[in-house]
Amino acid sequence: MDLKAISADNTILKYADDTTLLVPQNSSVTLQAEFSHILDWSSNNKLKINKLKTKEIVFHRPRLPKKSLPALLPEIERVHCVKMLGVLLSDTMSPTQHINQFISQCNQRLFLLSQLKHQGLSVEAMSIIFQALILSKITYALPAFAGHISVTDINRIDKFLKKAHRRGLVNQVFNICSLIERNDRQLFLSISHPGHCLHYLLPEKRHHSMHLRPRGHDYTLTHISTTLFKNSFVNRCIFNTV
């Protein structure tokens, strides 16, 4: 596809037949202009944007006054939460709604495991199924939102994991903080390779002539102005892997 954003400040992401437009607050081209450009491109290429399925979401601080929000796009619904590649994103970057969803689904899958236990399936076999059906659901895209999980939600997830072990449906107790650390480490190691599609997100490496003590990485520490920015995946790993 030759669809490109008008401004280098803005980003167009494409996956299958879905297109996502990202426009930051301080952009040289407004959201309205970029969206009009997409509509024009679609028309010129004999395509049609389904405006009923098109949603707008404005990411903002939790207590931002409504009057500070940008003007609505014509004929486009503004929502407080959207699903992207199976992850629910709220306008305040809180993952609570996503966690609500996967805990509900995982509780249903616990019932399935309970039925298998009643049929005489061993704990070892059930543990394999638990990791395939339940743990994979909890850890799906975990690095993307792990830094924004509240203490309340951490306790909710850990309570669910302890319940599974208490019922004899898994042979060990998992906890979300250990899962976050493991998944962060694995993904950070992967994107350190230049060929990885997320490698461009990493900051430049430091160049020094002195022999310093070994560190977990050679990347420069990014200037951090907000907790939300520091808790994002790359910055979280940069500061935690020392």
Q: What is the 3-state secondary structure (H, E, C) of 82-125?
A: EEECCEEEECCCCCHHHHHHHHHHHHHHHHHHHHHHHCCCCHHH
What pLDDT score does 214 carry? 57
What distance in Å separates the CA atoms of residue 48 and residue 197, rounded to the nearest whole number? 30
**Domain end marker among 181, 203, 228:** 181
| The pair of three-digit structure tokens given for residue 157, joined into one six-digit string | 């997830």
- Would you mind telling me the total number of residues written for the chain in this entry? 242
**Domain end marker among 155, 181, 207:** 181
What distance in Å separates the CA atoms of residue 37 and residue 43, rounded to the nearest whole number? 10
Q: Is the dihedral of CA 130, 132, 133, 138 positive or negative?
A: positive
**Do 113 and 73 share a domain, yes or no?**
no
What distance in Å separates the CA atoms of residue 203 and residue 221, rounded to the nearest whole number? 8
What distance in Å separates the CA atoms of residue 186 and residue 196, rounded to the nearest whole number? 13
57 occurs within a structural domain: yes
**Do 177 and 205 share a domain, yes or no?**
no
**Do 101 and 43 share a domain, yes or no?**
no
Domain count of the fold of the chain: 3
**Do 69 and 106 share a domain, yes or no?**
no
1 occurs within a structural domain: no
Residue 114 domain boundaries = 96-181
5 occurs within a structural domain: no
What distance in Å separates the CA atoms of residue 129 and residue 218, rounded to the nearest whole number? 39
136 occurs within a structural domain: yes
84 occurs within a structural domain: no
3 occurs within a structural domain: no
**Do 169 and 200 share a domain, yes or no?**
no
Query: How do the pLDDT tens digits run along the chain, 242 residues long?
Result: 588 999 999 999 988 888 899 999 889 999 999 999 999 999 999 988 899 999 999 998 888 887 788 889 999 999 999 999 899 999 999 999 999 999 999 999 999 999 999 999 999 999 999 999 999 999 999 999 999 999 999 999 999 999 999 999 999 999 999 999 999 999 999 999 999 989 988 888 876 656 656 566 777 777 777 788 888 898 888 887 76
Beta bridge partners of 78: 56
**Domain end marker among 143, 158, 181:** 181
What distance in Å separates the CA atoms of residue 122 and residue 112, rounded to the nearest whole number? 14
| The pair of three-digit structure tokens given for residue 199, joined into one six-digit string | 């490698």
Q: How far does Cα 12 stand from its chain's mean position?
A: 17
Phi, psi of 184 (to 5 degrees): -60, -45
| The pair of three-digit structure tokens given for residue 112, joined into one six-digit string | 């399935």
22 occurs within a structural domain: yes
* Total-model pTM: 0.85
What pLDDT score does 239 carry? 81
What pLDDT score does 153 carry? 97
Other Cβ atoms less than 10 A from the Cβ of 173: the count is 12
Q: How far does Cα 78 stand from its chain's mean position?
A: 20
| The pair of three-digit structure tokens given for residue 239, joined into one six-digit string | 């500061």
**Do 134 and 206 share a domain, yes or no?**
no
